[in-house]
Structure 1
Amino acid sequence: MVSSRRAFLRSAAGIAIVSGTGAIFAQPSIASSDNPAIPSEDRVSKARRAHAEIVPGAKSPNGWLINTAANAGGSVWTRPVPGTGFEIDVAIGHVEVILVHVVRRFHYEIDTLRPGEVIGFKSPDKVKRRELNHASGTAIDIRAGHYPPGVRNGFYPHEAAVIRDILAECEGVVQWGGDFSAPDEAHFEIGVPPTDERVRKVAQKIRGWNNIPGAGAGVIRELKVTN
Structure 2
Amino acid sequence: MNLIGLSRRRFLGAGSGIAAATALVGFGAGQASAVTGTWSDPESTNGWRLLEKAPGFVIEGSGQVVSLAEGDAATILLYVARRFHYEIDSLRAGDVHGWTVDRKMTEPYESNYLSGSAIAIRPVWYPVGAKGNLYPNELIVIRDILAELDGVVAWGGDFKKPKESHFEIVLKPGHPRLKGVARKISGTTNDGAGTIDAFDPIRRNAARAFERRTS
Which among 177, 181, 193 is matched to residue 156 of structure 2?
A: 177
- Structure 1 unaligned spans of 5+: 1-11, 24-57, 71-75
C-alpha displacement at 1:130, in angstroms?
2.0
Tell me the distance in 2 between the aligned counterparts of 1:198 and 1:87: 26
Which among 110, 131, 137 is matched to residue 152 of structure 1?
A: 131
Which position in structure 1 is the counterpart of 2:33?
15
Which position in structure 2 is the counterpart of 1:102?
80
Partner SS state of residue 111, structure 1: coil
Which position in structure 2 is the counterpart of 1:125?
103
Tell me the distance in 1 between the aligned counterparts of 2:97 and 2:169: 14
Which among 191, 194, 197 is matched to residue 221 of structure 1?
A: 197
Structure with larger Rg: 1
Distance 1:174-1:20 versus aligned 2 partners, 3 A rule? farther
Partner SS state of residue 91, structure 1: coil
- Structure 2 unaligned spans of 5+: 1-29, 209-215
TM-score by length of 2: 0.72
Contact 1:107–1:113 (8 Å) recurs in 2: yes
Aligned residue identity for 2:103: D
Tell me the distance in 2 between the aligned counterparts of 1:183 and 1:222: 23
Contact 2:40–2:103 (8 Å) recurs in 1: no
Tell me the distance in 2 between the aligned counterparts of 1:139 and 1:222: 23
Q: What is the number of equivalent residue pairs in this alignment?
A: 172
Partner SS state of residue 150, structure 1: coil
Distance 1:193-1:124 versus aligned 2 partners, 3 A rule? farther
C-alpha displacement at 1:21, in angstroms?
5.9
Contact 1:175–1:188 (8 Å) recurs in 2: yes
Aligned residue identity for 1:208: G
Tell me the distance in 1 between the aligned counterparts of 2:198 and 2:141: 10
Tell me the distance in 1 between the aligned counterparts of 2:51 and 2:132: 33
Aligned residue identity for 1:219: T
Which among 186, 202, 208 is matched to residue 181 of structure 2?
A: 202
Partner SS state of residue 210, structure 1: coil
1:63-119 Cα offsets, whole Å, 9 max, x none, are: 111013x3xxxxx21111121011001011111110000001001101111011100
Contact 1:177–1:187 (8 Å) recurs in 2: yes
TM-score by length of 1: 0.69
Aligned residue identity for 1:192: L
Partner SS state of residue 168, structure 1: helix
Partner SS state of residue 79, structure 2: helix
C-alpha displacement at 1:218, in angstroms?
4.2
1:67 equivalent to 2:45? Answer no
1:77 equivalent to 2:55? Answer yes
Distance 1:164-1:77 versus aligned 2 partners, 3 A rule? same
